[in-house]
Amino acid sequence: MRILFFGDVYGRVGREVVARRLTPLVKETGADAVIVNGENAAGGKGISAQICQELFSLGVDVITLGNHAFDKREIATYIDGEPRLIRPLNYPPGTPGAGSYIVRRGGRPLLAVVQVQGRVYSPQLLEDPFRAVEGEVERLRQSTPVIIVDCHAEATSEKQAMGWFLDGQVSAVIGTHTHVQTADEVILPGGTAYMTDVGMCGPWVSVIGADRELVLERFLTQRPVRLEAARGPAILSAVLIEVDEATGKATGIQRILEREVATEPLASLFGRW
C-alpha cells in the first residue's frame, strides 16, 4: 500500500498547489490513499467547511488539523458531522470531533489515521499525547494494522520521542507544524516509518507561509504585528509511505519537495532583502 501525506497547507497558495498537483502525484506514485494536514488552509489559520469540501473533492481521504483546529468557529459544528476531518486526539474531553479515522474501501478497513499534538512550547492545556495515542493505537489495531500518526508538535525532540515510543506499533509517525521539511526520513528498527516534519504546501517566498515583511517587522520592532499569508510561487512538501498491508510494517518512505520557479525577478519578490 502507498500513502501520500501532504504537509501543512498554508492559505490560498497552498490550496492551489495541492489542487494542481494532487491528482498527478497520485498517478505518478500509485498512491492508494491521501492524507492532508489542513490546519492553516484558511488564510494561514484554521480551516473552513468549504475548504474541507474542496479538498475532499480532490480525492483527499483524511484531513488532519492541529493547534489552529478551531480558529474558524464553524468547524466546532462541522467536525462532528464530518469524521474524515480529525483534530488532535489529546484535546480535553468534550472537545468536538475525533482524533482518529478509519479509511475504508469496499466496506473493509484500509488504514487508520490518528493525530496527536505535542505539549512542548504549546500554550494549550493538552492531555499527555503519549498515553493518549497508546490506547488509541491499541484500539485501532483491532480493525487494521496500517496506522499513520500525524504528530503535530513544535519540538523535534518530542516528535522523535513519539517515533521511538510507537516504533513497531504503527506504520508511520509523520511530524507536522513547523512548515520546514526535514531530511531525516527513516524506517525505524521496529518497522515504523518516521520523519520529523513533512513540511508545508504554500508560498515559499515567505516566513513559514506568512508575508515576510510583516514577520520581519514583528521581529525588528517587537510589536504585535498581525500576520497575513504570503503570495507568490509555491512549494509543495509531501511524503510517500509504502506499507505491507498484512503486517502494517513500513517498507519505504520517500520525501517529495517541489518548488515553483518564480515568475518575476527575485529582487522584486524579496524587496530590500
Q: What is the pLDDT of residues 253-265, one digit of tens each?
A: 999 999 997 665 5
In terms of Cα–Cα distance, which of 240, 231, 187 is closest to 206? 231
Residue 149 to residue 144: CA distance in whole angstroms? 14
Burial class (CB in 10 A: 0-12, 13-18, 19+), 73: exposed
Pairing of strands 62-64, 186-187: unpaired
Cα-Cα-Cα-Cα torsion 154, 156, 159, 165, nearest 10 degrees, comes to: -140
Residue ranges of the binding site for Fe cation: 8, 39-40, 67, 152, 177, 179
Residues of the chain with pLDDT > 70, as a percent, come to 96
Given this model, what pLDDT does residue 269 score?
46
- Give me the amino acid identity at 94: G
Residues of the chain with pLDDT > 90, as a percent, come to 93
Residue ranges of the binding site: 8, 39-40, 67, 152, 177, 179
Residue 66 to residue 209: CA distance in whole angstroms? 16
Checking if the pLDDT of 268 tops 70, the result is no
Active site residue 68: yes
CA 254 to chain centre: 16
Q: Is 218 helix (H, G, I), strand (E, B) or coil?
A: helix
Cα-Cα-Cα-Cα torsion 207, 183, 132, 60, nearest 10 degrees, comes to: 70
pLDDT tens readout for residues 25-53 = 999 999 999 999 999 999 999 999 999 99
Indicate which CATH number applies to the domain containing 65: 3.60.21.10
Q: Which three cell numbers stand for residue 154?
A: 513544535
pLDDT tens readout for residues 210-261 = 999 999 999 999 999 999 999 999 999 999 999 999 999 999 999 999 999 7
Residue 9 to residue 18: CA distance in whole angstroms? 8
> By the 8 A CB rule, do 188 and 195 touch?
no
Residue 160 to residue 156: CA distance in whole angstroms? 6
Instruction: Give the pTM.
Output: 0.94
Given this model, what pLDDT does residue 273 score?
35
Average pLDDT over residues 155-182: 98
Checking if the pLDDT of 271 tops 60, the result is no
Given this model, what pLDDT does residue 264 score?
57
Q: How confident is the model at residue 124 (pLDDT cuts 50, 70, 90)?
A: confident
Checking if the pLDDT of 149 tops 80, the result is yes
Average pLDDT over residues 181-191: 98
User: What is the secondary structure of 105-144 as a DSSP string?
Assistant: ETTEEEEEEEEEE--TT--S----HHHHHHHHHHHHTTT-
Number of domains, the chain: 1
> By the 8 A CB rule, do 113 and 93 touch?
no
In terms of Cα–Cα distance, which of 29, 36, 28 is closest to 7? 36
Would you mind telling me the total number of residues written for the chain in this entry?
A: 273
Given this model, what pLDDT does residue 265 score?
52
Residue 106 to residue 97: CA distance in whole angstroms? 25
Per annotation, catalytic residue among 68, 87, 119, 212: 68
Q: Which three cell numbers stand for residue 69?
A: 483546529
Instruction: State which residues form the domain around 246.
Output: 2-270
Pairing of strands 2-6, 234-243: antiparallel
Checking if the pLDDT of 54 tops 90, the result is yes
User: Which H/E stretch holds residue 252?
Assistant: strand 250-259
Given this model, what pLDDT does residue 119 score?
96
Given this model, what pLDDT does residue 122 score?
87
